[in-house]
Amino acid sequence: MSTSKTIKSALISVFHKDGLAPIVQKLNELGVTIYSTGGTENFIKELGIDVVPVEDVTSYPSILGGRVKTLHPKVFGGILNRQDHEGDVAEMQEYKIPQLDLVIVDLYPFEKTVASGAPEQDIVEKIDIGGISLIRASAKNFKDTFTVSSMEQYDEFLSIITENNGETSLDQRKKFAAKSFNISSHYDTAIFNYFNEDEVVFKASETSSKTLRYGENPHQKGYFFGDLEAMFDKLHGKELSYNNLLDVDAAVNLMNEFVDEDPTFAVLKHNNACGFAQRNTIKQAYVDALAGDPVSAFGGVLIANKEIDAETATEIHKLFCEVVIAPSYSDEALATLKGKKNRVILIQKTTKLPVQNVRTALNGLLVQDKDSKTDTLEDLTYVTNTKPSESEIKDLLFASKICKHTKSNTIVFTKNNQLLASGTGQTSRVDALRQAIEKATSFGFDLKGAVMASDAFFPFPDCVEIADKAGITSVIQPGGSIKDQLSIDYCNTNNISMVMTGTRHFKH
C-alpha cells in the first residue's frame, strides 16, 4: 500500500482560531469534507464554508456544558481505523463510521489560565479532555491520519497541503505525530504539577528551545530550554552562548538580593562575583566594583540594579565585556554601549524564577530547593565579647549575600559596601582565605577594618587567626562546628567580633 495519503476528510476542533481560516479555505478548495463542533463549527460557517456537525455523525448533541462533544466511537473509530486491516474496514462499513484523514486540534490554554491567577474552578474547566484524546488517537494512527496539534503548526501544515495538493507522506505524518505527543505530554505535565502537593515526583517539560553555538567548549553541543524573551529584552549584540547563560543566571540570582537597595553593580566571571559595590550613584558603584578585580573583569558579565546612564556607559565602554544587564538604559548610554557590535545588551524584566535547582548526576537527577534564605539582622547570634559596630554589621550582611552566591569553599572580604576580594571554589577554606588575601593585596586594598564572610563553619581557629593578621576585624559564619569555641576564644583574645547565622550556604 502507498505510504502517501490524500486528505479527503477532516475533523477540526480548536480553541484558538487565529491562522485557521487559510487552512479551512484550502481544505474546502481541495474538496475535503470538514467535520466540526461548537465554536469552531460556527467559525467555519462564518467563512461561508460547508461543515458537518459532529452531532450529525454521533446522533448526540454536545452535552454537559460542552464537556462532551467528540468522545464517541464513531469519531474515534474514524480516526483509529487501520485502512489496510480487513476487519477494521468491515466494521467501518457495518457501523457507518466516516473516515477521518486529518485531525486539527488546539487545546484549551491550561497553563495560561493558571498563570493568570484564575480561580480553581476556571482552571479545572481548562483541562482539555476531548482535544487531548483526539490528538493521541490520531497521532497513534499516523500511518493513516495526519495530526495538527497546535496553532503553532498551522503555517507548516498549510504549506504541506498547498505544495502537495492535499497529499501527505508517511514521514510528514510521523513527524507531526511526534509533535503531537510532545504537546500532549507537556500538557499533562503542567496539569500534574498544578495538582501535585504531596508526591515527591520530578516532572518537567519545556517546549521552547534554542540551539546554542556550542556548549562549554566548541566540541560540545549546547541547548537552552526556556523562554529568554520572558526574562530579557535583548537590545544589541551576538547570540548568548552556553557559558554566557551560566554567568547571566549567576548574575541575576546575585542581584536579586539587592533589587530595591541603593545603586549596586556586579561584575561576574565564571559564575562568581569578581567585583561588587553599592554606592550613591550607579557610575560610582561600577567604578568601585571594577576596582575589585579589573583583571578578571575582562570578558565578564556586568549587571546593575538601576538604570545605566551615559556617564556609567562611558566607563563600561572602556572594558571588554560580554554582557551588560540592567533594568533600563538612557538613550545616550545605549548609543555608547552599542559601540561594540558583539556586546550583548539586555534589559531584565520582572520574572518569576524557578524555585528548584536541577542538575544531572550519575544516571539520574539531583533536585533541591533553591537557597532562598538571606541572612538578616535577626539571624545573627553575637558569640564574642567584642560586638560588631553598626557599620560592620552592615558590611557583614552585605558580605554574606555575596558569599551565598560564590562557589564553595569561599571566603569573602568586604568594606564599606564593596567587595575587596574573594577566594572561590577551593578544596580547603584556608586556601580560599589565602587566595582572597593575595587578591586583595595585589589590587592595593587595605584589609584593616574589613569584614570576612564564610559560607560554612571553621573546623579550626586557623582561619580567624590568618584573617586577624591580615587586618580583618569582624567575621560572619554559620557556626556549627564541634570546635566553634576555639575560634570564639581566639576572637575574644584578639578583640575580633564574630557573629553566627546558623545557616550554611554551600554552593557546589
- Among 370, 428, 421, which Cα is nearest to 399's? 421
DSSP 8-state class, residue 48 = T
Active-site choice (16, 143, 186, 270)? 270
Active-site residue flag, 203: no
CA-CA distance, 226 to 448, in Å (whole number)? 46
* Long-range contacts of the stretch 155-160 (C-beta < 8 A, 24+): 155/19, 157/23, 157/104, 158/22, 158/23, 158/26
Active-site choice (72, 140, 234, 338)? 140
Instruction: Write the CB contacts of 4 (distance below 8 Å, at least 6 apart in sequence).
Output: 167, 168, 169, 170
Report strand pairing: 497-500 vs 381-382: antiparallel
- DSSP for 323-342 reads EEEES-B-HHHHHHHTTSTT
DSSP-H helix ranges across 233-388: 242-255, 282-291, 310-316, 331-337
- Among 508, 474, 321, which Cα is nearest to 398's? 474
Angle between helix 484-493 and helix 462-470 axes, rounded to 10 deg: 30
Cell of 307: 538604570
Active-site residue flag, 140: yes
Angle at 91 between CA 87 and CA 96, to 5 degrees: 155
Per-residue exposure over 104-132, b if at least 16 CB sit within 10 Å of its own CB, e if not: bbbbbebbebbeeeeeeeebeebbbebbb
Catalytic residues: 140, 270
